[in-house]
Copies of this chain bind each other. A is one copy, B any other.
Amino acid sequence: MPNQNHVFESTFNALADPTRRAVVQLLSHGSATVSELASPFSMALPSFTQHLGVLESAGLIVSRREGRSRVCSLNPEALKSAEDWLARCRREWEDRLDRLEAHLATTAKENRDE
Residues on A lying within 8 angstroms of B by beta carbon are 5, 8-9, 12-13, 15-18, 21, 24-25, 27-30, 74, 76, 79-80, 82-83, 85-90, 92-94, 96
CB proximity of A32 to chain B, nearest CB, Å: 12
For the complex, would chain A's binding face be called helix, strand, loop or mixed by DSSP majority? helix
What are the 10 closest A-B residue pairs judged by CB atoms, nearest first? Answer: A28-B92, A13-B16, A12-B16, A12-B15, A28-B89, A83-B86, A79-B90, A76-B90, A28-B93, A12-B12
Whole-angstrom distance between the alpha carbons of A5 and B20 in the complex?
A: 12
CB distance from A25 to the nearest CB of B (A): 6
Distance of A30 Cα from B56 Cα, bound (Å): 36
